[in-house]
Chain A
């Protein structure tokens, strides 16, 4: 059991790293994603982390640029801070078992900050998920398959090998 938890922690951190890259990649290639990002206020900072001191991913908007970083260092005072209550919730989300909406409906995390900003970011996360997840998983993940404006394979390749 202890080993299982450690494995989940590793997978969560690993997936968070690529999730951050996926965000940056979608911003570069997906029109819808850029539109949502444009709705965020300038200098907007969003952070997602695992309580009490797990991995985190921070997304910040500066003008037209959107940067996403993962790691354990915590940015001070993000506009929205989504804190998963435990590793299970984060693991379920980052492995595509549950969508952001389902996680929110099941109180998997606590949200500190502007809820409307979080909603915009959640739409962005859905777009990232629509590229990263397989077709089969996406059907279980969310009822509506999101339209993708960029090539799926290109985005996946660049997420893994690209530099942002």
Chain B
């Protein structure tokens, strides 16, 4: 019981429509939601069946495609945002539809935040809850990745003109409508299920133990952890297994919803810093440091680990593990899951595998200490702690 002394806010306005083949039913509601002329953002159009299908279904409801923008930035750049804004305005669009990967969703959410908040200078959008809604601009998101965990979150990542990466958070980044249809998911690279599932898994665990966590977000995170456990291997073995893909989509959705109420922690901060400094994918960095970060938080998150342990191992193993050993067992189980299941595709296990050596350590720590995620870590994180974590996986 946190009690009345603990104040919290919870807000996630995303309307969710999810299920196998739900696309048709979901888009049929768009006209009554006031959408007329859509600005369509997607990945590369070539062989992008999902985007084509979504666009056709939307057009069939009477909602026109005012313009199509292909977003290829891994992290959306200011330059691309300006471009998108100009195209949006030139075509008199009145809503945004994003169909694609994590990057496309990120770009569309950022564009909506800037346009809906009528932000003139980018500097005015930086921060947390810095942008106030000035005009309605519906945003519909149709992810085509497995485990996209930014679908319903309130955060976006942007690269400015100097190449610096920022995170902005605002309720305006949360889509109005999320359509999750596993039939639209296409796995273009073999690592995609691992990337999505690992990120989602790590995020859910961190949010579960977060300083901001409340009963509601904890329940969501536990449900998501169980979905990853049940579906990851099946999706990795057979990316056309719709049930497994849907399970991972749900896990990612829940991670995003909880992010609004309970942010991530030290693992997220270090992984982001590592990814930024080394140029490697964040899920790879997460895979290296996650277990150590969980060990670091053990002294304050023991009770939570004991609870979450059940959702990774199930009835038999949980019952067979003595109560006093469950917290440590949870860390071992999560580590095993990362190394054996996620790592079946040979994830990196040491920092040196991704080119991060002693020389880069100072820079990585400096970047880590700038992360907002440290604040919501259940244990207060100091520079020395970050050095210790990194050295333990060197």
Contacts and interface: CB of A to CB of B under 8 A. Distances in A.
Contact between A and B in the complex (any CB pair below 8 Å): yes
Interface of A: 39, 80-81, 100-102, 104-108, 110-120, 122-123, 142-144
A120 B369 contact: yes
Nearest to B11: A107
Interface residues of B, number: 28
A110 B375 contact: no
A115 B374 contact: no
B211 A111 contact: no
A17 B374 CA distance: 28
A39 to B, nearest CB: 7
B380 interface: yes
Contact of B130 (A106, A108, A110, A123): A110
A111 B129 contact: yes
B379 A112 contact: no
Contact of A105 (B124, B130, B375): B375
Contact of B371 (A106, A108, A119): A119
B166 A115 contact: yes
B9 A110 contact: no
A111 B128 CA distance: 5
A112 B127 contact: yes
Nearest to A119: B370
Interface string B1-21: 000001111000000000000
Contact of A110 (B6, B7, B128, B382): B128
B281 interface: no
Interface in B350-382: 366, 369-372, 374-376, 379-380, 382
Contact of A119 (B126, B369, B380): B369
Given A106-B7, A116-B371, A119-B370, A111 B127 contact: yes
Given A119-B371, A143-B380, 7 more contacts: A100-B375, A101-B375, A105-B212, A108-B7, A116-B166, A118-B127, A120-B370
A104 B130 contact: no
Nearest to B269: A119
Contact of B127 (A39, A107, A113, A123): A113
Contacts of B123: 113
B166 A119 contact: no
Contacts of A39: 366
- Which 4 residue pairs spanning A and B have beta carbons closest together? A116-B370, A112-B130, A111-B128, A111-B127
A112 B266 CA distance: 23
B380 A115 contact: no
A84 to B, nearest CB: 12
A108 to B, nearest CB: 8
Interface-centre pick from B166, B167, B300, B369 (highest chain A CB count, 10 A): B369
Contacts of B168: 115
A110 B374 contact: no
B380 A110 contact: no
Interface string B118-133: 0000011011111000
A48 to B, nearest CB: 13
Nearest to B124: A112
Nearest to A116: B370
Given A107-B9, A144-B380, A144-B382, A113 B375 contact: no
A114 B128 contact: no
Contact of A143 (B370, B374, B379): B379
A116 B276 CA distance: 14
B126 A114 contact: yes
B157 to A, nearest CB: 11
Nearest to A117: B370
A39 B362 CA distance: 13
Given A101-B375, A107-B9, A113 B211 contact: no
A148 to B, nearest CB: 14
Contacts of B127: 80-81, 110-115, 118
A105 B128 contact: no
Contact of A123 (B7, B8, B124, B369): B369
Nearest to B132: A110
Contacts of B129: 107, 110-111
Nearest to A120: B370
B126 A112 contact: yes
Contacts of B167: 115
Contacts of A123: 369
